[in-house]
Each structure stands twice: as structure tokens, then as C-alpha cells.
Chain A
Amino acid sequence: MKYTSSGNKDTRSGFGAGLYELGKTNPNVVALCADLVGSLKMDDFIKENPHRFIQVGIAEANMIGLAAGLTIGGKIPFAGTFAAFATGRVYDQIRQVVAYSNKNVKICASHAGLTLGEDGATHQMLEDIGMMKMLPNMTVIVPCDYNQTKAATLAIAEHIGPVYLRFGRPAVPNFTPADQKFEIGKAQLLVEGSQVTIFATGHMVWKALEAADILEQKGISAEVINIHTIKPLDEKSILKSVAKNRCVVTAEEHMMNGGLGDSIAQLLARKMPTPIEMVAVNDTFGESGKPEELLVKYGLDTPNIVDAAQKVLTRK
């Protein structure tokens, strides 16, 4: 394996660390939370900047409106809650006063996907990328590990406009550099390969790296590209890799409808029709269980990516 993990860490703590740093460096950053401060790892920011934290209580619709209002006055609000409550519950609010009004609001969504685990399907948000990417003006970012989530948190404060930042609950391998600069909208080539390209996002990026390793042992050269920005999609980098390898696997902890695979398939259908296999949740809700058990049961594990790569190669 080309990459080594410095140890398992949760991406939400990367968000917390980024927010804490922004508290020191950007006086306009304001944080809001709907009664999930500990889960969102906001404690350090709040301790240092109590006057720049707004505890909204269990009222997510109000939180989105408050965030939009805070931008009127020059603030940069980071509104945090679970992905389920940060999107589906408040879609109309985001649509009208954030996206359509083009406000500089950062929607910070933790506990996304199946790996929220034992809380089950009510909390396992698998449709958020789809909902958010459909909104004009919205930027959609899904970093892959702790370090990248921290870097992304810093980067979105500098980006003017609405952003949806998606991260998760479980501790996962932390393998990207601590000092990285996060470039919004730029695909990240992690492994070069010459036969198949795997586009992955979020927690699935590490699994894609593991899959590439297994494929190499089988004599298959797989390219791995981290699509941390779902929107705007880095079409140029995607098409460049696909032009070379001519077959594609996508991997994401999200519904197949509306996710990363959907975005890439749409791009390729328009510009470079290519065989594609998608590793994603296929039109079903999740359930309670341990994160790794759920990834296995719902077909989002490393062997699923390996299988998908081998299958798509036969369709080349």
C-alpha cells in the first residue's frame, strides 16, 4: 500500500479541529448547533469563543434561517448537526434562504451515511449529497479522513457562497497529510493505474485504496481518485483518467440515486460513454448495527470495490 494511516480518527473531529483553528484566525466565523455540540466536536471552539457560538436548541429550521441572517452583517456561519437533520429536515429552508439567496452559509453535517451505526435508518442519511447537489449555488464537499476534513473546514471559510460539508462519526484511517492545502473542486489523484479508474469519496476512499492494493496482487492496475468535491465536479480530471482507462468504478457511502456515481455517470454519458459500476446503497434504507457490519451487509466494503472493478473490466 502506497499510503499508511497514522491511526484511526473520526472525520467529525477533523471538523472540530478546523473550526477551533478558524476561531483563532477568522473573527467573522460564527458557529451554530442544534443540541449536538459534543457529537459535532465543537467544544474547543465554544470554550475559546463563547460569544461567537449560538446554541439553537432542537430547532434545525430556525438554525438555517439564523445562519442566513448572520451573513447579513458579514458573519460566516458554520451550522452543525447530523446530516439527517441538516438536509432533509430543512431542505426548503436551505433552498430558499441559503441556496436561492446565495448566502455565505456553511452547513456542516456529521454522522452521514451508514457508519453512524447503531442509531439506525432514521439517522443514517444516504440522500443528502443528492439533495444538496441539485441546489444551484451550492458547493458539496465530502472529505475522506480527519486531516482532509480539517483542511476542508479551513478552506470553506475562505470560499464565498453556500457550502455543504459532509463528514462522519466512526474513526477511520487518517492517511492524508496534516499540512495539506484543500482545493475545492479539484479531484485528488491518489494512485496511478492503467486499466480501471476508481472514483471514491468520503470514508470509501480508504477502501478504494485497499481495493487497488488487492487488484494489484491480482495483476490489475487500478487508478484511485478521491472526489472530495462532488459539486462542482472536476470534469477535466475525471475525463482525463477515463480517457486513459476506459472503465470506471464509483464508491460512496450514499444512495446510488443522486450520489457521486450518478454525477460521474451523467458526465460520462454526455461526454465519454464508458462502462461504469457503482458501489453505493441501492434504493434501500439502512438499519442498526456496527459501522463495519453495515458496510459489509450493504455492499460497501473493500471486496465489493474489487468485484466491481473486475466486473467492469469485462465490459470494457
Chain B
Amino acid sequence: MADIEFLKKMAAQVRRDVIRMVHKPASGHPGGSLGCADFFTALYFEVMNINPKNFTMDGIGEDVFFLSNGHLSAAWYSVMARRGFFDIAELSTFRLLNSRLQGHPTTAEHLPGVRVASGSLGQGLSVACGAALAKKLNGDQSLVYTLHGDGELQEGQIWEAVLFAAAKKIDNLIATVDYNGKQIDGTVDEVVTFGNLKAKWESFGWEVLETNGNNMEELLATFAAAKSKTGQGKPIVILMRTEMGMGVDFMMGTHKWHGKAPNDDEFARAMAQLPETIGDF
């Protein structure tokens, strides 16, 4: 069982990494990365069975993860580096020329941990379904995980995959929605509301769990519950309530930090709120 205090410290360090990563190139998407720092930490340090030191593209015999909302790259890179997929020093190259840490994740730079490019939204669930079917064909009992933005669910391809996954009983898949209620142009309700999002997923035939994505204990319990529901003929989705910008007071409660990096003054104010817990890169 996880050392909860360690996971909390790690998530705090990831938040600090994220702000430092987007500040240096003055570019990136801090809001969602801060909101999902706990999710990535839980997934990579506790939930998934993975081999960071021997990354294979096929991922046979281990759990695989797809980041469908690729703009959360900063937090994902931070967690993967800290989990040992690559050196944490490389985090300082994020979004700079000749870096493996592209603005949106890619396989083109051969960064261990990344299995498909993402950035153009709405495609990750289809890819995950394909990987999950490959696992079934291979007799591989390990699982497939994804993360999607809630705004991303406005893409039609998502619902093609949602329909497909239930129809084909893809029950080795645990999708998660970062349900922060915000997107670039405003709140999701202002842009194109989902109404009852839980009912929509349920009506498509998915097993739906809900959790607080900024509470480590609750996250771990939800993942444990989700795992226990695999192999029962239904795909599983976790609607994960998060706070965009979590951990930096002036980035919370607004959609304005979705895709904007802090200036030097804002960076200093953010750093003052984000303690160095594990050690900076």
C-alpha cells in the first residue's frame, strides 16, 4: 500500500515542476497540469504496474496510459521523469528547441513513456481501445488507462469510441475525465454544456465512478474500486472533479490559466506557494 505522505509530497513537487517548466519557455498550459498533478502521481507511483527502466512501445505485460488531452504534457513529463522514465534534468528543456519534451507529447523524439502523439483532441480514447483490444488478443491481463479533458468531450470522435468500447465490451480500460468544468473560452457550461455527464456515459453502457481528483486518499480508493470492476464486460470511466490551477491561489477559480505561462512576478508568487518537497530538477 502506498505511503500517502510520500504521494502528497510528490504531487506537490510535480506542481512546482510544472510552474518552473512553463515559466522558462514562457509557454505552456499550467492550469490543467496543476489540477491533475495528484492524478498523475497516483497513477504512476501507485496504481499502474509499469517498467520505467525498460520502456517498450508494445507495453506487453504492463499497464499502459494514454494522455488524450496532450496539453497536460508538463505534469505528465514531470511525473514520468520522477518515476524514472528519463532524467529529471531533462524537464528543464520543456518546449525548447531540440527537446524530447515537445509542447504536446510525441513518439517522434523517442521519449520513453510516450506511445502515441496527442494534442489534436479527441483521439486518445480510440487509440486506447485499440491497445486494449491488442491486450485481449495477446491474452495480456494488464490494463489500459487514459486521461481526457472535459472540454475535450465536445469532440465527436470521443463518442464514437465511447459507443464502440461498450459495444465491444472493452472491460480492460479505465478512462478518466478531468472534470474541472473549464476550457479555453470559459466554463464548459458556457461553451457547450454536457448537462448530466454521468448519465450520458451511463446511457452509453459504461461503468461510471466519481471522485475528487485533488484528494489523494479518495483518488486511490476510486482507482482500487475501478480496478475491481474490470473484466466484467463494461468499460470504466472515472469522472474526476479537479480544480484547474490547484495549488496556486491566483490560478484557481478561473479558466484564464488554461494555456498561459506566468511572468516573472507571477512566477515568484506561485513559487512561494509551492514548496520544494522532493528536490528540484
Contact = CB atoms under 8 A, between A and B. Distances in A.
A74 B131 contact: no
B134 A96 contact: no
Contacts of A66: 126-127, 129-130, 133, 164
B71 interface: no
Interface string B93-133: 00000000000001110000001111110111111111111
Contacts of B118: 96
B137 A69 contact: no
Given A67-B130, A72-B58, A73-B135, 12 more contacts: A51-B137, A62-B160, A65-B124, A72-B64, A72-B130, A73-B60, A75-B134, A75-B137, A93-B157, A96-B118, A101-B106, A101-B116
A116 interface: no
B196 interface: no
B107 A65 contact: no
Given A62-B161, A92-B120, A103-B116, A72 B137 contact: no
Interface stretch (A52-60, A215-223, A243-251): A52-60
Contacts of A30: 137
Contacts of B123: 61, 65, 93, 96-97
Contact of B126 (A52, A65, A74, A103): A65
Interface string A99-137: 011110000000000000000000000000000000000
A70 interface: yes
Nearest to A93: B123
A126 to B, nearest CB: 25
B84 interface: no
Interface of A: 30, 51-52, 54, 56-57, 59, 61-75, 77, 92-93, 95-97, 100-103
A104 to B, nearest CB: 10
B98 to A, nearest CB: 18
Contacts of A93: 123, 126, 157
B128 A97 contact: no
Contact of A72 (B117, B119, B134): B134
B278 to A, nearest CB: 30
B140 interface: yes
A101 B119 CA distance: 12
B126 A69 contact: yes
B156 interface: yes
Contacts of B203: none
A70 B60 CA distance: 12
Nearest to B108: A100
B58 A73 contact: yes
B138 interface: yes
Contacts of A75: 134, 137
Given A96-B123, A97-B117, A102-B108, A73 B160 contact: no
Given A61-B160, A74-B58, A102-B107, A69 B117 contact: no
Given A74-B60, A97-B116, A65 B161 contact: yes
B57 A72 contact: yes
B154 to A, nearest CB: 14
